[in-house]
Amino acid sequence: MTELLQNLIDGLGRGSIYALLALGVAVIFGVMHLLNFAHGELITVSGYASFWALGAGWSWYLTVPLIVAVSVLTSLIIERVAFSRVRGADDFTLLLTSFGVHFVVSAIFLLYVSASVKTYPRPAWVTNTFAVDSLRIEVFDTVVIVVTIATLVATTLLLQRTTFGLSLRAAAADFDTARLMGVRSNSVIRGAFALSGALAGIASVFWLMRSGSTSPTAGIDPMLKGVLAALIGGLGSLRGAVLGGFTLGLAEVILRSRLPDSVASLTEGVVFLLIALLFIFRPQGLISVPHAERV
Amino acid sequence: MLEVSGLTTKYGEISALREASLHVGAGEVVGLIGPNGAGKTTLLNTIAGLLAPSAGGVVFDGDDITGHSPEGLLRSGLALVPEHRRIFVNLTVEENLRIGGVTVPPSDRPGLLDEMGERFPILRDKWTTSAGYLSGGEAQQLAIARALMSRPRLLMMDEPSLGLAPLLVDVVFELIDTLRSQGRTLLVVEQNATKMLDLADRAYVLRSGEVVAEGTGAELRDNRDLFDTFVGN
Amino acid sequence: MFPNLRRDVIFPVCGSVILFVLFVGVGLAYQSQFSGAAERLVTFALIDAILVLGIQIYVGNTGILSFGHIGFGAIAGYAFALFAITPAEKLKRIPDAPFGLLDVNVSPWLAVVVAVAVTLVVAFVVGIGLARSGAESGAVSATVITLALLFVTHELARNWPDLTGGDRAGLSFRIGGTLDSRVPVYLALLVSIVLARLYAQSRGGRVAVAAREDDLAARAMGVNPLIQQMVALLISVVVVSVGASLRVYENGSILPRDMFFNLTLVTLVMLIVGGRRSVTGALVGVAVITTGRELARRLGQDGFEVFGIGLDGAPLDWIFRENLKSVFMGVSMLGFMIWRPSGLLDDWELDKWLHSRFGRRSEVPPESLPVIEPDDSSVLVAEGVDVAFGGFQALDDVGIRASRNEVVGVIGPNGAGKTTLLNVITGLVESSSGSVALGGVDLSSAQSFRIARSGLVRTFQNLRLFAALTVRENVEVSALVAASLRRHRPPPDVDGLIAAAGLWEHRDRRARELDYGTSRRLELARAAATAPAFLLLDEPTSGMSDSESLLMVEQVRQMAGLVGAGVVVIDHDLNFIIGICDRIYCLDCGQVIAEGTPEEIQADPVVQAAYIGSAAGD
Q: Over the range A103-121, which residues count as b (16 or more CB within 10 Å of their CB) and which as e?
A: bbbbbbbbbeeeeeebebe
Q: Check C545 against B165: CB less than 8 A apart.
A: no
A170 to B150: CB separation less than 8 angstroms, yes or no: no
According to the CATH classification, is domain B2-231 in 3.40.50.300?
A: yes
CA distances (Å), origin C142, targets B232, C114, C146, C359: 50, 27, 6, 39
Residue A125 placed within a domain: no
Nearest to C617 among B14, B165, B221 (CB): B221
Contact A254, A11 (CB under 8 A): yes
Chain A: partners with 3+ C-beta pairs within 8 Å: B, C
User: Mind telling me how many Å the CA of B164 is from chain C's nearest CA?
Assistant: 7
Contact present, C239 and C54 (Cβ < 8 Å): yes
Q: Is residue A110 part of a domain?
A: yes
By percentage, how much of chain C surpasses pLDDT 90? 40
pLDDT of residue C285: 95
Does residue C138 sit at the A interface (CB-CB below 8 Å)? Answer: yes
Q: Which of C414, C515, C577 sits opposite B162 (nearest CB)?
A: C414
Q: Report chain C's mean pLDDT, rounded to a whole number.
A: 85
* Predicted confidence band of residue C617 (pLDDT cuts 50, 70, 90): very low
* Mean pLDDT within C465-476: 93
Beta carbons of C330 and A276 less than 8 Å apart: no
Residue C177 confidence (pLDDT) above 50: no
Average pLDDT estimate for C444-466: 88
Interface residues on C facing B, Cβ-Cβ cutoff 8 A: 390-392, 413-415, 512-516, 539, 542-546, 572-575, 577-578, 589, 602, 610-617
Confidence of residue B233 (pLDDT cuts 50, 70, 90): very low
> Which ranges in C173-224 belong to alpha helices (H)?
183-201, 203-213, 215-220
| Residue B142: pLDDT band with limits 50, 70, 90 | very high
Q: B218 to chain A, minimum CA–CA distance in Å?
A: 32
B36 contacts in C (CB within 8 Å)? 539, 542-543, 572
pLDDT recorded at residue C616: 32
Q: What are phi and psi of C588, to 5 degrees?
A: -155, 130
Position with higher pLDDT, C172 vs C218: C218
Q: Which chain C residues are within 8 Å of A112, Cβ to Cβ?
A: 318, 321
Are B159 and C542 within 8 A, CB to CB? no
Cβ contacts from A onto C, under 8 A:
130
Chain A residues whose CB is inside 8 A of the B48 CB are 180
The pLDDT assigned to B230 comes to 52
Q: Which residue of A has its CA nearest to C214?
A: A295
**Cα→Cα distances C256→B7, B67, C158, Å:** 61, 55, 6
pLDDT in tens, C511-552: 988 887 888 899 999 999 988 899 999 988 876 666 777 888
Q: Helix, strand, coil shares of chain B as percentages rounded to 5? A: 40, 25, 35
Closest CA to C91 of C79, C76, C101: C101
Tell me the count of A-B CB pairs closer than 8 A.
62
Residue A24 is assigned to a structural domain of this protein: yes
Any domain includes A41: yes
Q: Which chains touch C (3 or more CB pairs under 8 A)?
A: A, B
Interface check A114 vs C, CB under 8 A = no
Contact A179 B95 (CB under 8 A): no
- In order, the DSSP letters of chain A are -HHHHHHHHHHHHHHHHHHHHHHHHHHHHHHHS---TTTTHHHHHHHHHHHHHHHTT--HHHHHHHHHHHHHHHHHHHHHHTGGGGTT--HHHHHHHHHHHHHHHHHHHHHHS-SSPEE-PPPGGGG-EEEETTEEEEHHHHHHHHHHHHHHHHHHHHHHHSHHHHHHHHHHH-HHHHHHTT--HHHHHHHHHHHHHHHHHHHHHHHHHHH-EE-TTTTHHHHHHHHHHHHHH-TT-HHHHHHHHHHHHHHHHHHHHHS-GGGGGGHHHHHHHHHHHHHHH-TT-SS--------
For residue A87, give the CATH number of its domain: 1.10.3470
Name the residue with higher pLDDT: B118 or C166.
B118
User: Which site among C126, C144, C150, C340 would you substitute to test the A interface, given the most A Cβ atoms closer than 10 Å to its Cβ?
Assistant: C144
- Residue scoring higher pLDDT (C22 or A54): C22
Q: Is B98 on the interface with A (CB under 8 A)?
A: yes
Q: Do B159 and C414 touch (CB under 8 A)?
A: yes
Among chain C residues, the shortest Cα distance to A263 is held by: C159
Residues in chain A with CB shorter than 8 Å from the CB of B89 are 173
pLDDT above 60: residue C333: yes
Residue B119's pLDDT is 86
Q: Give A97→chain C minimum CA distance, Å.
A: 6
pLDDT of residue B231: 45
* Residue A27 falls inside a structural domain: yes
φ and ψ of C604, to 5 deg: -75, 120
A181 and B74 in contact by Cβ < 8 A? Answer: yes
pLDDT at C375: 65
CB A180 within 8 A of CB A7: no
* Per-residue pLDDT tens over the stretch A121-131: 888 777 777 77
Give the pLDDT of residue C471. 94
Residues in chain A within 8 Å Cβ distance of C160? 266
B106 touches C: beta carbon within 8 Å: no
What residue of B is the nearest CA neighbor of A171?
B88
Contact B89/C at CB under 8 A: no
Distance CA C391, CA C415 (A): 15
Which residues lie closer than 8 Å to C452 by C-beta, 6 or more apart?
Answer: C219, C220, C221, C222, C223, C426, C458, C530, C532
Give the mean model confidence (pLDDT) for residues C281-304. Answer: 86
Please report the pLDDT score of residue B145 as a whole number. Answer: 92
Residue A165 belongs to what domain range?
A: 2-114+135-281
**Amino acid, res. A153:** V
Q: Which of C318, C333, C423 sits opposite A99 (nearest CB)?
A: C333
- Would A25 be classed as within a structural domain? yes
Q: Distance between CA C159 and CA C144 in Å, rounded? A: 22
The one-letter amino acid code at C94 reads I
Flag whether residue B162 sits within 8 Å of chain C, measured between CB atoms: yes
Reference C409, options C211, C614, C570; nearest CA is C570
In chain B, domain spans:
2-231
Q: Indicate yes or no: CB of B48 within 8 angstroms of CB of A180.
A: yes
Mutate to test the interface with A, among C147, C164, C270, C346 (most CBs of A within 10 A): C147
Residues in B touching C610 (Cβ below 8 Å): 166
- Return the pLDDT at C284: 96
**Count: domains in chain A:** 1
Does residue B166 sit at the C interface (CB-CB below 8 Å)?
Answer: yes
Q: How many interface pairs between B and C have CB atoms less than 8 angstroms apart?
A: 64
Give the one of B37, B135, B194 whose C-beta lies nearest to C612's C-beta. Answer: B194
Angle between helix C69-84 and helix C37-62 axes, rounded to 10 deg:
130
What is the nearest CA distance from A234 to chain B, expressed in angstroms?
Answer: 16
Higher per-residue pLDDT: C394 or C334: C334
Task: Provide mean pLDDT across the span C81-98.
Answer: 81
| Average of per-residue pLDDT across C141-146 | 87
Output the 3-class SS for C569-596. EECCCHHHHHHHCCEEEEEECCEEEEEE
pLDDT (tens digit, 0 to 9) for every residue of chain A, 295 residues total?
A: 777 888 888 888 889 899 999 989 988 887 777 888 889 889 888 888 888 888 888 888 888 999 999 999 999 999 999 988 887 788 888 888 988 898 888 888 877 777 778 888 888 777 777 777 777 778 888 888 888 888 888 888 888 889 898 998 888 778 889 999 999 878 888 899 999 999 999 998 888 888 888 887 778 888 888 888 888 887 767 778 888 899 999 888 888 887 777 666 677 778 888 888 888 887 777 776 554 444 4
Q: Is residue A130 part of a domain?
A: no
The closest of B46, B147, B162, B169 to B99, measured between CA atoms, is B147
Specify the pTM. 0.85
Task: Name the residue facing C613 among B14, B163, B192 (closest C-beta).
Answer: B192
Taking contacts as CB-CB distances below 8 angstroms, the residues of chain C near B38 are 543
User: Using CA of residue A4, residue A7, residue A9, residue A12, what is the dihedral sign?
Assistant: negative
Please indicate whether, in this complex, the C-beta atoms of A176 and B98 are within 8 angstroms of each other. no
Residue B31's closest CA among B169, B141, B144, B180? B180
Q: Please give the domain boundaries of chain C with CATH numbers for all domains.
A: 5-255 (1.10.3470), 380-612 (3.40.50.300)
pLDDT of residue A295: 46
Higher pLDDT, C313 or C323: C323
Within 316-355 of C, beta carbons closer than 8 Å to A belong to 318, 321-324, 326-327, 329-331, 333-334, 337-338, 341
Q: What is the mean pLDDT of residues C270-291?
A: 94
Least confident segment among B38-52, C259-273, C322-336:
C322-336
Which residues in A lie closer than 8 A to residue C154 (C-beta atoms)? 269
Q: Identify whether the C-beta of residue B154 lies closer than 8 Å to the C-beta of residue B27.
A: no
d(CA C408, CA B214): 35
| Contact call for residues B41 and B158 (beta carbons, < 8 A) | yes
Check pLDDT > 80 for residue B45. yes
CA distance A239 to C143: 23
Query: In chain B, which residue's Cα lies nearest the Cα of A182?
Result: B71
